[in-house]
Amino acid sequence: MVKTVVLVSGGGTNLQAVMDSHLFGEIPNCELTAVISSDPEAYALVRAKSANLPAYVVDRSLFPNVQSFNTAVEQKLQDLDAELVVLAGYVHSLGPNALREYENRIINVCPSLLPAFGDSDFNSMEPYERAIRAGVKLSGATAYFVTAGPTGPIILQQAVEVWEGDTSKTLQRRIMEEAEWKLLPKAIAMYCQGQLRVEDGIVHMAGERK
C-alpha cells in the first residue's frame, strides 16, 4: 500500500473526489494516510473529518517566512512517512527539499491543457479567463508530476469544450466536474499500481504502445 498524504488549502473539492474514489475501491494499493492543511479554517478539514481521515494543520500565518513554513510541511510529510504527495487545491509552492525528496512522487491537477497557459496562477480564475480571452475551443485539465518549474511531466489530460457565452465561473465548474475530479484519482491509482515511470521528463505508462 502506498502511503498517500494530501495537501490542501481551501474547500477541498478535489480532496472529496479522491476520498470518494478511494471509498469505492477505484484507487487500489493506496493508503490515504492523512490530510495536511495550510489554513486552519479550510473546509477541506471538515471533509477529511467526515471521512475519518486524520487531518493536520501547518498554519502558514504562524510562520515568519516561506522557508520556515515549507520546512514544517516537509517535516510533517516525513513524520507521516509519506510515499506519495497529492496537491488538492494547495495554494503554496513546495520547497526545494520536498521537490528533491519526493521527485516524481508529487501529483497535482491544473485547469489547463498543459503546456497551454502553463504560466497561469492555477489557484485563481486566471486560466479560465485566459482561455476565454484567447478564444480557444477546447480547455480542460492536466494531472502531472510537480517540479520546480511552472509545469512538470504530464500524466493524464482531459479536454473540455469551451462553450459560446462561457464565463470563467461556468468554465471552471465544467472543467472540475468533467476533468479534474476524474483525472486526479485516476493518476493516483496509476501511480499506486506502479503503472507510471518518468524518463527524460516524459511519463510512460505500463502497457502503452511504443
Assign domain 109-210 to its CATH architecture.
3-Layer(aba) Sandwich (3.40)
Whether residue 210 has pLDDT greater than 80: no
Percent of the chain at pLDDT above 90?
Answer: 93
Whether residue 209 has pLDDT greater than 80: no
Whether residue 189 has pLDDT greater than 90: yes
Fold (topology level) of 1-102: Rossmann fold (3.40.50)
**Pairing assessment for the beta strands 196-199 and 30-37 based on DSSP bridges:** unpaired
Percent of the chain at pLDDT above 70?
Answer: 98
**Domain range annotation of the chain:** 1-102, 109-210
CA angle 158, 144, 165 (to 5 degrees): 35
At 56, the pLDDT band (50, 70, 90 cuts) reads very high
Closest CA to 76 of 9, 145, 7: 7
- DSSP secondary structure, the chain, as one string: -EEEEEEE-S--HHHHHHHHHHHTT-STTEEEEEEEES-TT-HHHHHHHHTT--EEE--GGGSSSHHHHHHHHHHHHHHTT-SEEEESS--SPPPHHHHHHTTT-EEEEESS-TTTTTTS-TTSSHHHHHHHHHT-SEEEEEEEE--SSSS--EEEEEEEEPPTT--HHHHHHHHIIIIIHHHHHHHHHHHHTT-EEEETTEEEETT---
Whether residue 40 has pLDDT greater than 90: yes
More confident residue, 163 or 207: 163
Same fold across 1-102 and 109-210: yes
